Structure 1
Amino acid sequence: MNADPADQLRLLDLQAADTALAQLAHRRRTLPELAQLAAKEKDAAEVNNRVIDAQTLVADIELEQRRLENDVDTVRTRAAKDDARLQSGGLPSRELEGLQHEIASLARRQSSLEDDLLDVMERAEQAGATLGVATSDEQAVRAEVSELQVRRDSSFGEIDDAIGQREPQRAAIASALPPDLLALYEKSRASGGHGAAMLRQRRCEGCRIELSGSEVSALRAAAPAAVVRCENCRAILVRTSESGL
């Protein structure tokens, strides 16, 4: 393939634009905030599980506490009724003895229930404190996540602005090139990463490998309009006064 040396030289501008765009895309994919955000979101999920576990425990204890409170109220009501009957007098001795026995049994039952209730209330206090710590931790992590998201979005905005400036420049350069030369450039770039590279002091600037003596001889013999490629990376070699030929 032959192409005007001036068009071949423009390939370096096109390659520079593509390199800049590739660097911007790489930077967008590898922002430090992305890894930090992924780690913090994992922390947020873990602390959220802690909150859910603590909420479940608090709810279970509250349910147990209400049950015990209801049991205590039931025993107290029953004991009050029995005491009222006892105080009213006129009961047969056998019934009086049975009533006194039941009142004593209810008192023991009430005491046991109140001990259980006290234990549950202590557990409720501990569970509430655990929930408070987990909730506070979750809020802190969520705040860090939000901050990282703001920083990520700000970096994305800067990168996208830079890409938005580069893409029209790249399009303008590409549109001015002969279609067959552009097609070869795109093919070379797809296969090796560099579509075109300057030949500087007998070294390909794409793969950074110095050309052999036979390759240099072939390039010396090639016409200025001949489109030549690096034997190693297959980039189009653009010859200039710095090529060392």
Structure 2
Amino acid sequence: MDVPRLRRAPPPFPPHPPQPPQHRTDREQRTEEPVLKADPSAQLKLLDVQELDSRLDALRHQASHPPEGPVLRDLESSRAALRDQAADLQIQVDDLTRAQRKADDDVEQVKGRKVRDQKRLDSGQVTNPKDLERLQHELVSLDRRIGELEDTELEIMAHLEDAQRDLAEVQAHLVEQDAKAQELDATRLERLGGLRAEGGEVVARRKEVAATLPADLLALYERLREQKNGVGAALLRQRRCGGCSLELNSGDLAVVSKQPADDVVRCEECGRILVRTEESGLR
């Protein structure tokens, strides 16, 4: 006898979906980190390093955003338009020059034919009255054709002179713009050289000061500086963080004031290293 198989009853509620990992706040992460120790004098030197790093950031910004930059970009756009205009005008001048040369050749060709016909007429070689009349009509027709061709040539020459004048004006303007751009670029390069020279001095000074700091303090500062828009350490002055400019509340001030002088204090708001001095307002 077959025994019926029992079906497992479905659970009364669907299982909970897997929960995403909880992201810890900066404050929660800091509470789990061991308190870093550093001599107060080293913490003060850290502010010197921060000042030098901020100066380097400012120098890099000035080098990548020179005041001449917008003017040079506008000049380059203007020069590009002038070069295109000059190229179009040069093509027009070349075409008109060829047209004038052809018109001049056409005039000379018809004039040569007239000279030959006139010589035949003057030589008396044509004695047949009909031939003589035909030759005289041809000479009249050639005179008329020469006049038409010369008018066309004069018109082409007028257009050519206009195009040459326009081309000369555009080229003169382009030369003026090129000179201005070269002058501005020379100023930019001179400024850039000064910035690089100062940057080299700041880098050397920064290396010298950083070499006196504990490795763990410098490593923390570098990490925070990368995370906090270039500012890893700030002075606590009059109960206010120099990094985020926020004033510490009474509870945080009480905690900070009780910490030993060699504790590396962090701002509870922005997480930057806070360097305490007599100006901090903790007493």
Same fold (TM over 0.5): yes
Instruction: Give the drift of 1:31.
Output: 2.0
Match for residue 212 of structure 1 among 249, 256, 266:
249
Match for residue 104 of structure 1 among 130, 140, 148:
140
**For 1:113-135, what per-residue CA distance to the aligned partner results, in whole angstroms no more than 9, with x for missing partners?**
00011111111111111111111
Partner SS, residue 199 of structure 1: strand
- Alignment correspondent of 1:173: 209
- Alignment correspondent of 1:48: 83
- Alignment correspondent of 1:202: 239
Instruction: Give the drift of 1:110.
Output: 0.9
Looking at secondary structure, tell me which structure has more helix per residue: 1
The range that moved more, 234-243 or 216-225, is 216-225
Q: C-alpha separation between the residues in 2 aligned to 1:27 and 1:61?
A: 50
Partner SS, residue 242 of structure 1: helix
Match for residue 237 of structure 1 among 274, 278, 281:
274
Partner SS, residue 198 of structure 1: strand
**For 1:71-106, what per-residue CA distance to the aligned partner results, in whole angstroms no more than 9, with x for missing partners?**
001111111111111222242233223222222222
Unpaired segments ≥5 residues, structure 2: 1-35
Q: Does 1:17 align with 2:60?
A: no
- Alignment correspondent of 1:61: 96
- Alignment correspondent of 1:131: 167
Match for residue 150 of structure 1 among 152, 177, 186:
186
Residue 217 of structure 2 aligns with an amino acid whose one-letter code is: L
Instruction: Give the drift of 1:198.
Output: 0.7
Partner SS, residue 231 of structure 1: coil
Residue 244 of structure 2 aligns with an amino acid whose one-letter code is: C
**For 1:195-215, what per-residue CA distance to the aligned partner results, in whole angstroms no more than 9, with x for missing partners?**
110101110111211111221
Instruction: Give the drift of 1:164.
Output: 1.1
Unpaired segments ≥5 residues, structure 1: none
**For 1:126-161, what per-residue CA distance to the aligned partner results, in whole angstroms no more than 9, with x for missing partners?**
111111111111111111111101111111111111
Q: Does 1:2 align with 2:2?
A: no
TM-score, normalized by length of structure 1?
0.95
TM-score, normalized by length of structure 2?
0.83
Structure number, greater radius of gyration: 2
Instruction: Give the drift of 1:21.
Output: 1.0
Identity of aligned residues (%): 40
Partner SS, residue 157 of structure 2: helix
